[in-house]
């Protein structure tokens, strides 16, 4: 759950305990893995209840509203919303439609247990990166420099979504 902690930081550390650390390359060729982009304000609800058709933006046809989840079969990167949910879904003709080369409309809910990872921003600053960027930053700049950058940002009023030490520890696993 999102917890407002001392210093007005959102505590997303629980995501690193509940799910895998975001690694898109691990599922590159897996035909049963899909990605859904959302806003960080939805992350808590998604981690509790999964992706729900009745909470997604609805589409319309001649018969009215069609509750569905929009998803892609390739990761979209830093697109709208800023957070990417990776999940398993056994697509059939009855539970989803392929819209174009990589986009799908899914008609069944995705349980929290089918979520593989949630790739979020690490802070509310436009200059900060996503979870999936941290291992590359550690390799490029080193742990100490990444840690100092995060701490310096917090000292300047940047709202961190993860504890810097815990984030670096989890990024190395």
pLDDT value, residue 89: 97
User: For the chain (length 173 residues), average pLDDT per consecutive 10?
Assistant: 45 91 90 91 92 79 77 71 89 92 93 96 76 92 93 87 91 84
Number of domains in the chain: 1
Are the C-beta atoms of residues 158 and 123 closer than 8 Å to each other? yes
- Domain harbouring 61, CATH code: 3.20.170
Domain span holding position 33: 14-119
Domain annotation covers residue 1? no
pLDDT value, residue 63: 67
* Alpha-carbon gap, residue 21 to 169, rounded angstroms: 11
pLDDT value, residue 28: 86
Domain annotation covers residue 125? no
* Alpha-carbon gap, residue 20 to 17, rounded angstroms: 8
């Amino acid at each position: 759950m999102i917890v407002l902690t001392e210093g007005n930081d959102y505590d997303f550390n629980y995501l690193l305990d509940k799910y895998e650390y975001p690694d898109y390359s691990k599922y590159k060729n897996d035909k049963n893995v899909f990605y859904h982009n959302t806003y960080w304000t939805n992350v808590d609800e998604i981690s509790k209840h999964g992706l729900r058709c009745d909470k997604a933006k609805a589409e319309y046809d001649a018969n009215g509203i069609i509750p569905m989840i929009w998803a892609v079969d390739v990761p979209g990167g830093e697109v709208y919303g800023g957070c990417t949910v990776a999940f398993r879904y056994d697509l059939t003709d009855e539970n989803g439609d392929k819209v174009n080369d990589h986009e799908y409309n899914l008609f069944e809910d995705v349980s929290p247990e089918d979520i593989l990872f949630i790739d979020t921003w690490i802070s509310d600053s436009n200059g900060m990166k996503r979870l999936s960027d941290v291992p590359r930053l550690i390799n490029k700049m080193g742990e100490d420099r990444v840690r100092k950058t995060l701490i310096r940002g917090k000292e300047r009023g940047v709202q961190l979504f993860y504890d810097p030490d815990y984030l670096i520890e989890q990024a190395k696993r």
